Amino acid sequence: MEDKLLQRVRRIYAAVKAVEEKDSKKLKATVITTDKVRGVFLDFCRGFSDEKLSNYAHLVIHNIANLCNHLRKWAEHNSEDKGMVDKVIGQSLELQIIKDLSNNDKHGYPPRNGGHSGKYPKLDKINRVMRLATKAKAGSTIGMTLGADGIPRFFGDGNAKAVITGNV
């Protein structure tokens, strides 16, 4: 049972990794050259339709939201209090919203009685953007330039990756 739970957690990590892109060569901009202008167009959604972006976002949401069912079974199988899972969810607005977003995708919007959170959350404006993040230390930097070939180049000691975002 514990192996299945760990396997489920690894699936969550795999779902998150599937929506991140760190290889700058895969994020190449379109270089536009005419006799009057030279420019670049950089779109981090490149190759992803709105439906594909939404599918990736919901994959992560569903994997996280449904982990609680596996945790309840694990607790029951290991003579632990499975009610603790619900207690933790009841104390976390973030987990309640994740469960609501998953249920909205499964059952449709709006949720009955505001859902688990009581907030009627809705996911929209799903996009793919470049996230630049410094390390958690003084003096950490991260920056991006664009080469003439359209390939982004990053400098500094921070992290850069294209990630899927959305408004809740």
Give the HSE-up count for residue 25: Cα atoms under 13 Å, Cβ half-sphere. Answer: 0
Q: Return the number of other C-beta atoms located less than 10 Å from residue 55's C-beta.
A: 14
Over the stretch 124-162, which tens digit does the pLDDT of each residue have?
Answer: 999 999 999 999 999 999 999 988 788 899 999 999 999
In angstroms, the CA 143 to CA 117 distance is 38
**In whole angstroms, how large is the CA radius of gyration of the chain?**
20
In angstroms, the CA 168 to CA 166 distance is 7
In angstroms, the CA 94 to CA 12 distance is 16
Fill in the amino acid letter for 70: H
Give the HSE-up count for residue 120: Cα atoms under 13 Å, Cβ half-sphere. Answer: 5
Instruction: Quote the pLDDT of residue 1.
Output: 62
Give every residue of the chain whose pLDDT is below 50, as ranges.
Answer: none
Instruction: Quote the pLDDT of residue 106.
Output: 93
For residue 159 the two structure tokens come to 């992290």
Instruction: Quote the pLDDT of residue 101.
Output: 97
In angstroms, the CA 165 to CA 48 distance is 13
- Contacts of residue 92, Cβ cutoff 8 Å, sequence gap at least 6: none
In angstroms, the CA 71 to CA 82 distance is 8
Instruction: Quote the pLDDT of residue 39.
Output: 83
pTM attached to this predicted model? 0.82
